Structure 1
């Protein structure tokens, strides 16, 4: 059997939506799994190819095996994974969530090749593996995802987006490990900061759907970006510069990529503006992870 899947990048938090909001972007990794008589072979090209393992510990392979175990399906005797990575690693663009989602999608397609993927199952297992649902939900559902936790699982829904919404990404040349970005956060924040963030997160849902002119106010954050600034000073300075110019700039996920949200008209001039130390890319909202094809070897 050969299974081909495609998974999008994503931007989590979107300013005030810390650990509960994420958006898929039209920037994709392509993954092929082929069964074989024995052994595990991993062939990776593109972003991070020199850093990822080439055995069963590869995140897509380990997630594939975990997914099959959850589904009660015996894994193939051997497999070959071929991945072409386009999504940058360690830049806050959801590369690990894309890998986890790819593994789960491959597992579902292997176990149930004639059925549409059970995305609620994918959300449940993906959240357990990732630790929080914002990126994973966006990759699984596409578009804008709002995630929340329950007593026994993470849940998520798709939310409406303005059809002309774009994301202008400024990607720095160096990575920041997500673990370090997490460690920079305080254990507690003030009631005033939590209240302010709640109001802006609520406004952000409306701004993304109907009022992009409100995105500058709607993307203001008090919970995470200021605490991570020392880890990514160039990105923090760029966010401050862009916001002072009236642009809805945020740190994407755990950083250090900077995302500016707006319509194509709002971002047109800025999209032609370079900043030293950053690559730039104008992105559309991405669709969900999907199975491209399933065939016999």
Structure 2
């Protein structure tokens, strides 16, 4: 019986102006143990997502299972039966890429079962689940990623973030839905806002890799955060407070978590973070890892 241990990092996407384009892998990991059996499906979910409002399915609709099946079909790998043990740590529906992490875990497991090195198709398979590649690419590759779609083909480039970067996450108890918050975005935005955000996105790449002192300006956005603020007023208020204190903060993904790109891992005591769980998370530089037992 083949058994795999897949360790996959959380991710934070957008990073302010890089809507659907920038992602960063974080040192918070789900671990999935995958065993090939003679038949059937056995899925056990532990920790985050096990029971309650965050309950996830334990049948063929489970994201890890769906992604693993997709990868195996792509590679022509026959898997008669599966046993999964999902040790979930990444909070669900908080803007930390829990869904993308599950998909990447399944894709990586499928490639490992097929004895294949992950290639460009692995990212395509993962990104197709969500329709954008920023979270998936970060969990797959680690570090800082720039993601884009070229003629329906998802692509990404990995960059090394500046070594002084020390992300801090403020995670509220409330949950958010990417689908719901995308529904708040307008079909069209003013040209001046698009141009502003394009410039800041370019600056963000430079700031994240070489000039962290520019991060406050580099994380300004006019494309998505303001339109979605009504979905999580407490997070929007915290974001404004942090930036008023000179801290480069942004909504993490679709929210409601707030990302602070510090260089010392500290949020001043003068910032009221009541209602949020605040923690420093290192950047994950390795991406998804698979060990065969």
The answer to whether the superposition gives a TM-score over 0.5 is yes
Q: Which residue of 2 aligns with 1:287?
A: 285
Q: Distance in 2 between matches of 1:187 and 1:273?
A: 35
Q: Which residue of 1 aligns with 2:45?
A: 44
Structure 1 position 67 matched with structure 2 position 71 = yes
1:96 to 96, 99, 105: 99
Superposed CA RMSD: 1.4
8 Å contact kept, 1:119–1:140: no
> Greater shift after overlay, 118-127 or 3-12?
118-127
8 Å contact kept, 2:9–2:288: no
Q: Which residue of 2 aligns with 1:227?
A: 227
Q: Which residue of 2 aligns with 1:85?
A: 88
Q: Which residue of 1 aligns with 2:268?
A: 270
Q: Which residue of 2 aligns with 1:58?
A: 62
Query: For 1:127-138, what aligned pairs fall within 5 Å after superposition?
Result: 127-138=127-138
Q: Which residue of 2 aligns with 1:106?
A: 109
Distance 1:95 1:271, change over 3 A: farther
> Greater shift after overlay, 91-100 or 206-215?
206-215
- Scaled by the length of structure 1, what TM-score is found? 0.94
Q: Distance in 2 between matches of 1:119 and 1:239?
A: 37
SS at match of 1:106: helix
Q: Tell me the matched-pair count.
A: 289
Q: Which residue of 2 aligns with 1:28?
A: 29
Which digits, 9 at most, give the CA deviation of each residue in 1:83-122, with x for residues without a partner? 100000000000000000000000001111xx4x324121
Q: Distance in 2 between matches of 1:166 and 1:38?
A: 45
8 Å contact kept, 2:112–2:290: no
> Greater shift after overlay, 229-238 or 43-52?
43-52
Distance 1:215 1:291, change over 3 A: closer
Distance 1:101 1:67, change over 3 A: same
SS at match of 1:5: strand
Which digits, 9 at most, give the CA deviation of each residue in 1:4-48, with x for residues without a partner? 110000000000000000000000000010112221010011111
8 Å contact kept, 1:8–1:287: no
Q: Distance in 2 between matches of 1:99 and 1:273?
A: 33
TM superposition shift of 1:269: 5.0
Which digits, 9 at most, give the CA deviation of each residue in 1:175-218, with x for residues without a partner? 01111011111111010000000110111111111211111100
8 Å contact kept, 2:250–2:259: yes
Q: Which residue of 2 aligns with 1:187?
A: 187
TM superposition shift of 1:290: 3.2
TM superposition shift of 1:262: 2.1
TM superposition shift of 1:131: 0.7
- Scaled by the length of structure 2, what TM-score is found? 0.95
SS at match of 1:7: strand
TM superposition shift of 1:260: 0.4
Which digits, 9 at most, give the CA deviation of each residue in 1:151-197, with x for residues without a partner? 13010001231111011100000101111011111111010000000
Which digits, 9 at most, give the CA deviation of each residue in 1:43-96, with x for residues without a partner? 01111111101111100001100111111222x221110010000000000000
TM superposition shift of 1:273: 6.2
